[in-house]
Amino acid sequence: MGRFLNPGNKGFQKIIGAKVYVDKTGIIGHLNEWIDTDARFVCVSRARRFGKTVAARTIEAYYDNSCDSHDLFAPYAIAKDSLYETYINKFDVIGLDVLTFLQLGQNPKTLMERLSAAVVSELCEKWPDIAGLKECTLADALATIHEKTGARFIFVIDEWDAVFRQYPEDKALQKVWIHFLRDLFKQKVMDDVIALAYMTGILPVKKYKTQSSLNQFREYTMIRPLVLEPYVGFLPAEVDVLCEKFEMNRAEAAEWYDGYMLPHEHHVYNPCSLAQAMAYRSFGSYWTRTDSFESLLDYINADLDGVYDDVMCLIGGGRVDVDTSTYDNSFTVPKNKDDCFTLLTHIGYLAYDEEAAQVFIPNEEVRMAFRAALKECAWPDAIKPYQRSRRFIEAIFAEDSETVARMVEETHQNMTSVLAYNNENALSCVISVLCFFAENQYHIIREFPTGKGFADIVLLPQKRIQKPAIVIELKFKTDVKAAIDQIHNNNYPGRLNDFYGEVILVGISYSKKKAHDCIIERFEREEGGAKRM
């Protein structure tokens, strides 16, 4: 076993030995079907923290002929595959982590030479009797070995797109990297040498104005995962098992990590974050600040085609229409709003609803990442959502009804480019934007009524947070006092029934012809009834 040639199965041993493991070996069944077919060139792009490296180590361990992995895979789904015995431990595997090569080398332009030299060196160690290998290119060395021994190879390339992410402006380096992969996989002499090539990263294959140099790769992405959809993240049934095993609250798991909506699997969970939550028995954000976070800031600050307004809609729980077809799969600042939101979907900051062609923020973990980014965004002071939201919550605590009404109206006007003025979901979106600051201390619950009424917004303090609950009632063409009276008549939104303590009531009424009116009251919620303060 070597570092690159036949890395063995120790990586997979560590994966299944972890406290939390969900069986995703079924993906190998698809790869087995594609071996030695036109579909054998596979590029699987996933958002960050969606188990790309876990899949790569799993695939290496299954095919690697330098070890026996039968005992490791026997308990899992792939062992039931009809081609399980046909291909397990039957190939020479070349496993490459491109990001590691980039980080270890001082000059990125030498990446291809260093990578080739490292793999060829290990090829020479395994086949020392084949003359001239050391002087060969990687492709020629593999072809020579196959000709002399009949050996066949499977490539597993992790972080294949690291060149694009680390050096987004270096077009020359990117093209050299693509040409290197093209020469490795597309030469006719390699047809019998390579049984399968599996690449994984965040980005799909880079598109060019001319036909892509890697057009033989079939792509499975966050937007179009196709038959590999069940392997993108954890599915509800898998999360049920984990929550029961670790005695964790199922609803909280969904709130924190669900929301990645795929064409058939409408509830997909971030696998790495959920696994950590189970292992530590603590829900929270397990995202780390990376180049992706810096990119999020860049894309928001660029304000392409009115991104400001759309981001305000997204953080308020709304959705934005997106055309994903124009994105060229680069990591530079996108050319337009559609490309911006498509890229944010690929890196995991947004979820995509294919049927509606819309994006949205999927869950609380990602919402926290947006919160962190928006604190640092370079927006004009007048529309900075975090700062405005803080003033809004402070005005509610101070019972400053005039300021609350004015801020609702101003925010609504700022968002009219993306929201219809008298739409129920739109008004809920406006209030959610203004409650953005409170999300680190409150659970924000949206209740959408039927008929002509508008959505109640309920803010319940999180555990160990000594804050009053807040109920915001919106009324259309109705006296503002009716909003307060409705709450006092015990028409509490469901989850407020279990809350006892100080409650702030915020009633807001509005119409197209009249500015917003607001009344704020406090009362004490006690068992058996409410007491005005």
* Superfamily of domain 10-220, CATH level 4: P-loop containing nucleotide triphosphate hydrolases (3.40.50.300)
* Ramachandran sector of residue 226 (left: φ over 0; alpha: ψ -120 to 50; beta: rest): left
**Cβ neighbours of residue 505 under 8 Å, at least 6 residues apart?**
471, 473, 484, 487, 488, 519, 520, 521, 522, 523
Report whether pLDDT(147) > 90.
Answer: yes
Nearest C-alpha neighbor of 154 from the set 60, 66, 235, 72 = 60
Residue 418 has a pLDDT of 55
Task: Please answer whether residues 114 and 173 qualify as being in contact, where contact means their C-beta atoms are separated by less than 8 angstroms.
Answer: no
Report d(CA 386, CA 252) in Å as an integer.
24
Identify the residue with better confidence: 420 or 356. Answer: 356
Report whether pLDDT(36) > 60.
Answer: yes
Domain locations along the chain: 10-220, 231-280, 291-379, 383-532
Residue 421 has a pLDDT of 52
Q: State pLDDT tens for residues 365-389.
A: 888 888 777 777 666 554 566 778 8
Report whether pLDDT(291) > 60.
Answer: no
Helix (H, G, I), strand (E, B) or coil at 151: coil
Nearest C-alpha neighbor of 182 from the set 223, 149, 213 = 213
Identify the residue with better confidence: 447 or 307. Answer: 307
Q: State pLDDT tens for residues 391-406.
A: 999 999 999 999 998 8
Report d(CA 430, CA 419) in Å as an integer.
9
**Cβ neighbours of residue 254 under 8 Å, at least 6 residues apart?**
239, 267, 269, 363
**Cβ neighbours of residue 9 under 8 Å, at least 6 residues apart?**
60, 61, 64, 67, 69, 72
* pTM attached to this predicted model: 0.84
Report whether pLDDT(450) > 50.
Answer: no
Q: State pLDDT tens for residues 177-217.
A: 998 998 899 877 788 999 999 999 998 887 655 545 788 89
Residue 448 has a pLDDT of 42
Report d(CA 410, CA 86) in Å as an integer.
66
Residue 390 has a pLDDT of 85
Q: Report in angstroms the alpha-carbon separations of 1 from 125, 506, 527.
A: 10, 67, 69
The H or E element spanning position 4 is none
Report whether pLDDT(85) > 50.
Answer: yes
Report whether pLDDT(446) > 80.
Answer: no
Report whether pLDDT(155) > 90.
Answer: yes
Q: Residue 229 carries which DSSP code?
A: G
